[in-house]
Amino acid sequence: MERLPYIDLLLQELKADAPETLASLGTHIHLGYWAHPALADGSFENFAAAAERLAWMVCEAGSARDGQRILDVGCGIGGTVESLNKRLSGVDLCGVNIDTRQLEVAKETVVARSGNKVQFVAGDACPSPTGLLMLSRRSSAVSTFQAVGSLCVKPGECFAPAGCCRSRTW
């Protein structure tokens, strides 16, 4: 696995309990969304709220709802899984990531609410000769979703916030 320098830095900051990092990220390692960019005040709290808002917008675009099995491919440190866990009921959530260091953070911070299931799995989202899920930066979105699609309740309900938002049946 290729190590990304920004992830290394982020994980060092989290391990050191850096208050600014914790305040600005929460459990997300992606950017945020401001409906009105002028409201982006540069504060850590404002950035964390924007990151949560972006995660939930993607979840809504994917029609995430109660009772679903939802797979987050490239789950990072579990921010989107945590958001889904907090907002939905009766869900079975699975975060997949190739970086076990990120998954360790996710497992420590995301606790399933009553009635929900949460798990984090180290793996790769591309098909391999052994049938394992494998992630590859060279893979196409279609091959990724085909590989993980069998984990969904019904065709077309595979939801991967780190990927794309459009619904498609394979």
In this structure, is residue 161 part of a structural domain?
no
In this structure, is residue 16 part of a structural domain?
yes
The DSSP secondary structure of 65-111, one letter per residue, reads -TT-EEEEET-TTSHHHHHHHHH-SS-EEEEEES-HHHHHHHHHH--
pTM exceeding the 0.75 threshold for the entire prediction:
no
User: Domain count of the chain?
Assistant: 1
**Per residue in 64-77, pLDDT tens?**
999 999 988 889 99
In this structure, is residue 83 part of a structural domain?
yes
CATH code assigned at 46: 3.40.50.150
**Per residue in 116-155, pLDDT tens?**
999 999 987 655 444 444 433 333 444 444 444 444 434 4
The pLDDT, as a whole number, for residue 8 is: 83
In this structure, is residue 162 part of a structural domain?
no
Angle CA 135–138–139, to nearest 5 = 60
In this structure, is residue 61 part of a structural domain?
yes
Which one, of 146, 147, 154, 119, lies nearest residue 133 by Cα?
Answer: 147
**What is residue 153's DSSP assignment?**
S
In this structure, is residue 32 part of a structural domain?
yes
In this structure, is residue 97 part of a structural domain?
yes
In this structure, is residue 62 part of a structural domain?
yes
Tell me the residue range of the domain where 88 lies. Answer: 5-149
3-state secondary structure of 134: strand
